[in-house]
Homo-oligomer: A and B are copies of this chain.
Amino acid sequence: MGTRNEISELPPEADLARADSLAREIFSDLANKWAFLIIEFLGQRTLRFSELRNEIGGVSHKMLTQNLRMLERNGLVRRIVHPTVPPRVEYTLTEAGEGLRQVVDGMCGWTQRYLGHIEASRNRFGDDAAISAIARSDDVPGLK
């Protein structure tokens, strides 16, 4: 789907449709692991680029830049450039970013709560367990 579809005339119901697809797009944009981690760490305090890179760990220069631009574009992150040399660039959350941080925090809490549950489930899944809990044969025509 082309995202460069700028239409000057807005049909009444197209507005809702557009909002919906926009919401879906935002949803897809933000549901990515680097974005979540950035939001989480910036929620704790304002960080410089390299600090953020160290805090997160395992993120490449490119990915971090890319996601920071995306978050900035969507108005979740504010980029503050200090005109010094060497340059000092700080990132902080906007009000919208703080709002999403609540969500991410919720997910962190959820992860802590269900960590054991998840780990157990993984082991169960990897093991070949005879999991056939349901074996109720209904009367189905066509089955020999």
Residues of A within 8 A of B (CB): 4, 6-8, 19, 22-23, 26-28, 30-33, 35-37, 72-75, 80-85, 96, 99-100, 102-103, 106-108, 110-115, 117-122, 124-126, 130, 133-138, 140, 142-143
Contact = CB atoms under 8 A, between A and B. Distances in A.
A140 B4 CA distance: 13
Contact of A32 (B33, B115, B119, B120): B33
A62 to B, nearest CB: 17
A2 to B, nearest CB: 12
A134 B8 CA distance: 7
5 contacts: A4-B130, A27-B111, A31-B35, A31-B36, A106-B106
